[in-house]
Amino acid sequence: VIRIYYLGIHEVDWNYAPTGRNVLANQSIVSAFLQSGKDRVGSMYKKSVSEVGDTVQVHLKKFATRPYTVHPHGVSYKKDSEGSLYPDMSPQDQKKDDAVFPRRNYIYTWTVPEGHSRTDDDPNCLTWIYHSHIDAPRYITSGLIGPLLTCKTGMLTGSSQRRWNVDVDFFLMFSVVDENLSWMRTLHHFAYPGSVDKEDEEFQESNKMHAINGYVFGNLPELKMCAGDSVSWYLFGMDNEIDVHTAYFHGETLKIRGHRTNVASLFPATFVTADTIPRNPGRWLLHCQVNDHIQGLVIKAEVGDTILVTFFNKASWPFSIQPHGASYGKASEGMWYHDGCGISVAPLHNFTYCWTVPRYVGPTPSNPPCLTWMYSLVGPLLISKLGNLDDNNKQKGIDKEFYLLFNMFDENLSWYLNANIKYYLRMEETSVKKDDGFEESNRMHAINGLMFGNLSGLDMCEGDKVSWHLLGLGSKADVHGAVFQRNTMQMNRMWRDSANLFPHTFATAFIQPDNSGTFEIYCQTSNHYQSGMRQQYNVSNVERGTSSAHRYTGVWMFYIAVEDLVWDYAPDCSWERERAHSAFLIYADMFLNNENGLLGSRYKKAVYREYTDGTFQTPKARISGDEHLGILGPFLWAEVGDILNIVFKNNQQTGHPQVANPVECWNWTITGLSGPDMYNGLIGPLKVCWRGVLQSSGTRKDVKREFALLFLVFDEHQSWYLKNVEHFSKGNHKEINLLDEKFVESNKMHAINGRLYATLPGLTMYQGERVNWYLLGMGHEVDVHTVHFHAETFIYKNDKSYRADVVDLFPGTFEMVEMLVGNPGTWLLHCHMSDHIHAGMEILFTVLPRGAHLPSALMFPQEKRLPLEDESQKLMLFGSKVAQEQIEATVISLVVVGVLLLLAAGVLLGAVIHLERQR
């Protein structure tokens, strides 16, 4: 079927709150947000729907004042229908799609081949989007975005857009629309334009609209359905780092990828298809949920049970209890509505909630036997399959159960902040200076409300079957990677190193510890770990009869050194200059320019590099297939049952932490449970495969090419190498303000394998090849990355196999996706976060036609290793060997200190003589 759509781009007057009121609370709009309308490009145009085998033609007509495009996700296209402006070496006749100018039109042609179709485990229709892609962040913010569906053949009724197997469907976009980025900003109406300071933080915050489909405060036209309808929800998030959304459906549960839930986690360019059959009549809330609480008692129930909870409020404020994962009527929802529905419990009053557990809210075949949910204020709620709990309300087949709440408690937002100030500081709130330092000190990065190892009772024995029930709460900062040191966990029938948690998301993980000792549980997000989000668990050695020792069948030897070098994040700026000239972009200057108090793109770093043997004389050359690794260390590999021997040498120069012995030998064992100081540059990929998968060279037998990509904002302020200021700044480095906001931001390198703005080499493959991508996420709260491949889709596994073209990465998470490449050309691969796009987190990959020539040697910049210091040139000072320039600095310092001491002694002596004379 050829499906034809006619899209027009208009500049329209859009009002985020057309009623002028907060519909949910029945109040006028809060003053922090502008009440007047704004000239902006209209949001949420036509939806585009197609089936496998279809051809989609989009006729675009421009009625607006700027050039725009249409770029799709999830479908196949040639270079002349990509709708994305960047230097891709295409001939001019294939670049007309890159920018459609005012009063012009263009026809985009997209197809849905089998290689882009849903898998057997996917829902019948996949959610995608289309948007303008000249300067994607600004154009999307201006309103140019819409939904696109690709469906299983036979799902649509003829050539129409309606699905025959659902009664109602809804498309919802969750986004903090930053109108400060919009092209329409200069056209916006302000009541008092002369009094507006566009750089004022409060003014900028007022232009960030926390919207669903472009509406705020309940102004979205009502979403109506009938009890018993088959309903599909097509959900997606867009925009920036703060767009961490948990869409919470009150009163109902959903099925997402076969799993039971009532929340959908959404990030920029994350697409979710959810299905439900609503059964609870009423008017229910759908919103992005954020709150902070301390964990309460555990409530458990099986399918078919009724739960009665009597709540007595001994606090001084009205509260309620709201459950996830159970069914309830409006009286037991625990949510206040302005129309009188819902209830809160006043201080010193009580109320009995009634929740039920019908079959349709219980675990699905894809879920574990017990689902982890929670109720607010906040405690774990476990919903189990019928017969899974014993007479003592314990899970059958489980030796230990633990419940962990990962949450950054922002005490600045607490009802009790004033009381805490009076009690602990012995002063009134008005006399406290509430600066950034004060507010940061009140943000408690805790597990179960405790920090820095103060949580007790996490005790178990070797071989115990342990279930961990993990809960996430909080705000946009609550992006957690829960890691259990020394043990891997099983989640969704897959072995994992970490579990991702977001506000109002829950997970069940299983661990069977095989080593005794005391180990850490911590959040992998770097600043959360540093702020105390870590605890300890204890594994005791208990005899359980005779057990056979592990038998290892293979040994892999690697010789790795740490070396200092000068790293250039963007050794060739020609690509970015050409794109900036074409699209009039100026974002790269902050990160690449080393003038006006900035450092540019070159920094001193420490990296892992491989050598041929234990003499560490001959570096191992990076051959074809490895050049894409960039700043990453060498690719290590092993199969289940193997031993890795790492011979490690520290070649770093002085001034940084070193091991006592510069050469160490480490032994890592790979058991069946392992199956499938970072900012300096010390990080590399490790691949663990099933037996028989690897060749002797370490490459896989079942795929043609493998690429490892690290998405990380390298914060050079966290690096040991602060002397970068001296080496790479122009002018007097002592005049640089290290705390200047622009300087701090300029040193945050949004890199892929240590490269910015498409300067990473080596991502070349042939049409028809099977390629594996190993995607690595590390870092800070800002390191939420949504990785988008242009022109290709891939398969990723989470218990089952699913089709996508965007994969979500978080600190401490690693994903593997498999791609059958089929679209020749040079294509963009980038993080879809708005700030990250502007900061250069994008690279190119090239798909060559079958039979084309793949260059045997690709040219890429050579690393500039710093020479090791010559020990023979050092002199003895106070028993230690020190370089001559360090001796000079030390002697000068001692002379200065001596002179100061002499002057002080003279002053004291004069004072003594003066006092004696007065006597």
pLDDT of 35 reads 43
3-class DSSP string for 98-154? HCECCCCEEEEEEECCHHHCCCCCCCCEEEEEEECECCHHHHHHCCCEEEEEEECCC
**CA angle, residues 442, 446, 447, in degrees to nearest 5:** 165
3-class secondary structure, 176: strand
Look at residue 736 and tell me whether its pLDDT is greater than 50: yes
H helices present in 760-883, as ranges: 834-838
**Could you give the CA distance from residue 459 to residue 529 in angstroms, rounded to a whole number?**
22
Contacts of 519 (CB under 8 A, 6+ apart): 484, 485, 486, 487, 536, 537, 539
**Could you give the CA distance from residue 495 to residue 157 in angstroms, rounded to a whole number?**
41
Q: How confident is the model at residue 769 (pLDDT cuts 50, 70, 90)?
A: very high
Sign of CA dihedral 609, 614, 618, 623: negative
**Could you give the CA distance from residue 251 to residue 334 in angstroms, rounded to a whole number?**
11
pLDDT of 886 reads 59
680: region left, alpha or beta (phi > 0 left; psi from -120 to 50 alpha): alpha
Look at residue 325 and tell me whether its pLDDT is greater than 60: yes
Where is 527: in which H helix or E strand? helix 526-530
**Could you give the CA distance from residue 467 to residue 430 in angstroms, rounded to a whole number?**
47
Phi, psi (degrees; rounded to nearest 5) at 128: -135, -175
Q: How confident is the model at residue 164 (pLDDT cuts 50, 70, 90)?
A: confident
Least confident of 355-359, 500-504, 597-601, 915-919: 915-919
pLDDT of 664 reads 74
Q: How confident is the model at residue 906 (pLDDT cuts 50, 70, 90)?
A: confident
β-bridge partners, 383? 301, 371
3-class secondary structure, 617: coil
- Percent residues over pLDDT 90 in the chain: 45
**Averaged pLDDT, 91-120:** 90
Instruction: Check residue 601 and report its DSSP letter.
Output: T
Look at residue 33 and tell me whether its pLDDT is greater than 70: no
Closest C-alpha among 208, 339, 248, 119 to residue 799: 119
**Averaged pLDDT, 591-601:** 87
Look at residue 476 and tell me whether its pLDDT is greater than 70: yes
Select the more confidently predicted residue: 777 or 866: 777
pLDDT of 859 reads 44
Tokens 């490790």 map to which residue? 686
pLDDT of 31 reads 44
Q: How confident is the model at residue 708 (pLDDT cuts 50, 70, 90)?
A: very high
pLDDT of 558 reads 94
Look at residue 672 and tell me whether its pLDDT is greater than 70: no
Q: Are 44 and 145 in contact (CB under 8 A)?
A: yes
Highest-scoring range by mean pLDDT, 31-40, 137-146, 538-547: 137-146
**First CA to last CA across the chain, in angstroms?**
112
Q: Are 113 and 137 in contact (CB under 8 A)?
A: no
Instruction: Check residue 96 and report its DSSP letter.
Output: G
Highest-scoring range by mean pLDDT, 295-299, 431-435, 685-689: 685-689
**Averaged pLDDT, 22-49:** 51
pLDDT of 194 reads 58
Tokens 């990030």 map to which residue? 267
Select the more confidently predicted residue: 217 or 534: 534
Q: How confident is the model at residue 20 (pLDDT cuts 50, 70, 90)?
A: confident
Select the more confidently predicted residue: 600 or 53: 600
pLDDT of 868 reads 44
CA dist 872 → 652, 867, 888 (Å): 17, 14, 17
DSSP strand pairing (554-568 vs 286-288):
unpaired
β-bridge partners, 220? none
Highest-scoring range by mean pLDDT, 40-54, 242-256, 539-553, 648-662: 242-256
Look at residue 159 and tell me whether its pLDDT is greater than 80: no
Q: How confident is the model at residue 163 (pLDDT cuts 50, 70, 90)?
A: confident
pLDDT of 771 reads 97
Residue 425, token pair as written in the block: 């500081």
β-bridge partners, 238? 175
Long-range interactions of 842-845: CB distance < 8 A, separation 24+: 842/752, 842/757, 842/758, 843/709, 843/752, 843/753, 843/755, 843/758, 843/759, 843/760, 843/763, 844/88, 844/575, 844/758, 844/760, 844/763, 845/763, 845/764, 845/765, 845/789
pLDDT in tens, 221-240: 989 999 999 999 999 999 88
Look at residue 446 and tell me whether its pLDDT is greater than 80: yes
Q: Is 565 exposed, middle or buried (0-12, 13-18, 19+ CB in 10 A)?
A: middle
Look at residue 673 and tell me whether its pLDDT is greater than 70: no
Select the more confidently predicted residue: 710 or 657: 710
Where is 894: in which H helix or E strand? helix 884-918
Q: Are 146 and 139 in contact (CB under 8 A)?
A: no
pLDDT of 218 reads 87
Q: Are 707 and 773 in contact (CB under 8 A)?
A: yes
3-class secondary structure, 738: coil
pLDDT of 570 reads 95
pLDDT in tens, 680-698: 778 999 999 988 999 988 8
**Could you give the CA distance from residue 145 to residue 501 in angstroms, rounded to a whole number?**
28
**Averaged pLDDT, 140-148:** 90
Q: Are 467 and 285 in contact (CB under 8 A)?
A: no
Length of the chain as a residue count: 919
Q: How confident is the model at residue 406 (pLDDT cuts 50, 70, 90)?
A: very high
CB neighbour burial string for 573-609, b if at least 16 within 10 angstroms, e if fewer: bebbeebbeebebebbebbbbeeebbbbbbbbbbbbb
Look at residue 250 and tell me whether its pLDDT is greater than 80: yes
Q: How confident is the model at residue 34 (pLDDT cuts 50, 70, 90)?
A: very low
Q: How confident is the model at residue 315 (pLDDT cuts 50, 70, 90)?
A: confident
Q: Which amino acid is at 373?
A: W
**Averaged pLDDT, 389-402:** 94
pLDDT of 420 reads 83
Phi, psi (degrees; rounded to nearest 5) at 326: -120, 165
Q: How confident is the model at residue 39 (pLDDT cuts 50, 70, 90)?
A: very low
Mean per-residue pLDDT over the chain, rounded: 84
Select the more confidently predicted residue: 313 or 433: 313
Q: Is 516 exposed, middle or buried (0-12, 13-18, 19+ CB in 10 A)?
A: middle
pLDDT of 319 reads 86
Q: Are 474 and 407 in contact (CB under 8 A)?
A: yes
Q: How confident is the model at residue 660 (pLDDT cuts 50, 70, 90)?
A: very low
